[in-house]
Amino acid sequence: MQSSINPEDFASDASFQRWVLTNDSEAHQKWEHWLVRHPDQKSIVEEARQLVLALHFSKDTPRAGSKLEVWQRIQAENKQVAQESAPVRQLVPRYLPWKIAAAVSLLLAATLSFWILRTLDYEVYTTGYGETREIALPDGSQVALNANSTLRYPTDWDERTHRQVSLEGEAYFTVTKQKNVSDTSSFTKFIVHTDDLAIEVLGTAFNVNTRRRATQVVLEHGKVKIIPEADTAKALFMHPGELVEYYPEVQSVLRKTTDTPVFTSWKEGELIFHDQTLREIADRLEDTYGYQIIFNDQTIGQKKFTVSIPTEDVELLFPMLARSFSLHLKRADRQIIYSRQ
């Protein structure tokens, strides 16, 4: 996250909320790790914590089966905010500064809307660091969910015109073709939603990675359509062996042919790095296994390395890199520090 990120961006993140409100060890590790790497963001994180706590302070929690009632309450709350200059109603603690109070009011409405649309009627699968999971979808499609990732799909799957899932993190999809119930001469679409893209397919196999402020799609076989949420007119079709990376902040697309096993081998229990920089390798290990990897000299991270290693032996990489580039390795729990000898 960059310095331009607002407290609301943190507060709306599910893992951030778990860190503030629960004893979730994975969320705790993730955000404590993040704070170590971004000490300049401490004040913004503290504001975000107050937002989350303020939302949690409210006892006016939606009840299952009361969607209409909750939605009406959201609309009434928004109307109240628009008509009055007073900070907020009793849902928000009075001791909060007015800027935070106003943000809480808006975030409360957004949170309740999100709850209505996405929480009650979704099946949710989540993996921790270093954990993978095989998921069979109702239509027979298969999903290999990589570590530190979340997959959601609607519980009323069979009643929908299109098959849709949402992904945070990384997953490999093997999609089966399914006849359209209302028109058996056609097939239902299968759509993967990320924060930035809609990935539309019929029957195919592909890998999706949403980390590092970009969405990456690697197509192994079949055909997919990539649709940027910010500009659907820029949709493009991918062909087997291609990689597409979409950067939402600048709405740019990188497209190239690639060696697909480099990106999909994780589902077979193997990590392949081909001519990648040590910083790229470190980023992958941080995202997937929760390590914190530091290069005291930034030029170390620019060095390139090629290696294939079983995921169960991933820790062998650390001394291997040190020996290969004559580096000093220091380790404290899950923090790895490389420096020149």
Cα separation values, 272 from 42, 218, 221, 262, 330, Å: 36, 15, 19, 5, 24
How much of the chain exceeds pLDDT 70, in percent?
Answer: 75
Q: 190-193 and 163-168: which strand pairing? A: parallel
pLDDT tens for 244-255 read 999 888 888 889
- The verdict on pTM exceeding 0.75 is no
Q: What is the 3-state secondary structure (H, E, C) of 36-76?
A: HHCHHHHHHHHHHHHHHHHHHHCCCCCCCCCHHHHHHHHHH
- Average pLDDT estimate for 298-302: 93
Give the separation between CA 135 and CA 36, rounded to whole angstroms.
Answer: 34
The confidence score (pLDDT) of residue 189 equals 86
Topology of domain 269-340, per CATH?
Answer: Phage tail protein beta-alpha-beta fold (3.55.50)
The answer on pLDDT for 313 being more than 50 is yes
Q: Where are the alpha helices (DSSP H) in the chain?
A: 7-11, 14-21, 25-37, 42-57, 67-83, 98-114, 261-264, 278-289, 317-324
pLDDT confidence of residue 174: 95
Give residue-wise pLDDT tens across range 113-152. 444 444 447 889 999 999 999 999 988 999 999 999 999 9
pLDDT higher for 71 or 321? 321
> How far is Cα 73 from Cα 69, in angstroms, rounded to an integer?
6
Provide mean pLDDT across the span 7-12.
74
pLDDT tens figures, 12-32: 777 788 788 777 777 777 787
> Per the structure block, which two tokens stand in for 259?
């060696």
Q: What are phi and psi of 196, to 5 degrees?
A: -115, -20
Amino acid in the structure at residue 325: F
Which pLDDT score, from 0 to 100, does residue 74 have? 47
Mean pLDDT of the chain: 79
Amino acid in the structure at residue 229: E
Give the least confident one: 97-101, 284-288, 331-335: 97-101
Give 129's contacts (C-beta < 8 A, 6+ positions apart).
26, 29, 147, 148, 288, 289, 290
For 226-245, the pLDDT digits (tens) are 998 888 888 999 999 999 99
pLDDT at position 118 is: 43
Q: How far apart are CA 253 and CA 257, in angstroms?
A: 13
Task: Tell whether the model's pLDDT for residue 112 goes beyond 60.
Answer: no
Rounded CA-CA distance 23/265 in Å is 33
Q: What pLDDT, on a 0 to 100 scale, did the predictor assign at position 59?
A: 36
- Residue 292 is predicted with a pLDDT of 94
Which pLDDT value is given to residue 157?
75
Could you count the other beta carbons within 10 Å of the beta carbon of residue 59?
6
Which CATH code, of 2.40.50.180, 2.60.120.1440, 3.60.10.10, 3.40.50.300, is assigned to 122-262? Answer: 2.60.120.1440
Q: How far is CA 263 from the centre of its chain?
A: 17
The domain segmentation of the chain, as residue ranges, is: 7-119, 122-262, 269-340
Enumerate the β-bridge partners of residue 236: 226
The answer on pLDDT for 209 being more than 50 is: yes
- 78 against 253, higher pLDDT: 253
Band (pLDDT 50/70/90 cuts) for residue 67 is very low
